[in-house]
């Protein structure tokens, strides 16, 4: 089972979730990062402007791409290995919806992609909310947050395995 930890930054207004950026890492050290050229920065609220948009690299950076390119590259990243994949995110519901919307409606999501994202925060709560490493200085950058999700996973999974009597 391959685990991929990811994070999305997005603009949401209670009706629409608009993807800004997507970062992902796997347990083997592969990384993915892309920024959509399709979002409208004028729709971002003050918090997103300050904590997300102000941290994005210049639009000349190769991470900026079309939604189609982002979708195709993320799909290639997720399906690059053999076997099934688990997707993990902190507060996963929004992240899963924004990723699924890259393909349109949920039924259009390719069969190779999971139909849900596992919620790392829920697993953390299940094991008693242990202390986690502090957020990185570049928090709210999708790739930095994906990396931090992997770090949090290692803490949480060690406790989970200990409780389940599973050494590995």
Residues that constitute the known binding site for Mg(2+) = 7
Cα–Cα distance between 157 and 168 in angstroms, integer?
10
Could you tell me which residues are beta bridge partners of residue 2?
85
Which of 9, 92, 22 lies closest to 48 in space, CA to CA? 9
Please tell me what DSSP assigns to residue 133: P
- Residues 35 and 15 sit within 8 Å (Cβ to Cβ): no
């Amino acid at each position: 089972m391959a685990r991929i930890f990811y994070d999305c930054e997005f603009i949401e207004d209670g009706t629409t979730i608009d993807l800004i950026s997507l970062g992902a890492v796997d347990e083997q050290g592969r990384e993915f990062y892309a920024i959509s050229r399709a979002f409208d920065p004028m729709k971002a609220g003050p918090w997103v402007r300050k904590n997300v948009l102000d941290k994005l690299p210049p639009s000349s950076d190769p991470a900026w791409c079309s939604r189609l390119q982002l979708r195709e590259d993320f799909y290639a990243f997720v399906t690059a290995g053999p076997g099934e994949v688990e997707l993990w995110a902190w507060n996963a519901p929004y992240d899963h919806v924004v990723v699924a919307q890259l393909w349109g409606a949920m039924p259009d999501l390719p069969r190779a992609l999971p139909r849900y994202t596992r919620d790392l925060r829920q697993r953390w709560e299940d094991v008693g909310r242990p202390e986690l490493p502090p957020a990185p200085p570049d928090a709210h950058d999708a790739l930095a947050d994906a990396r931090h999700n992997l770090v949090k996973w290692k803490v949480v999974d060690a406790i989970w395995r200990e409780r389940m009597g599973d050494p590995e």
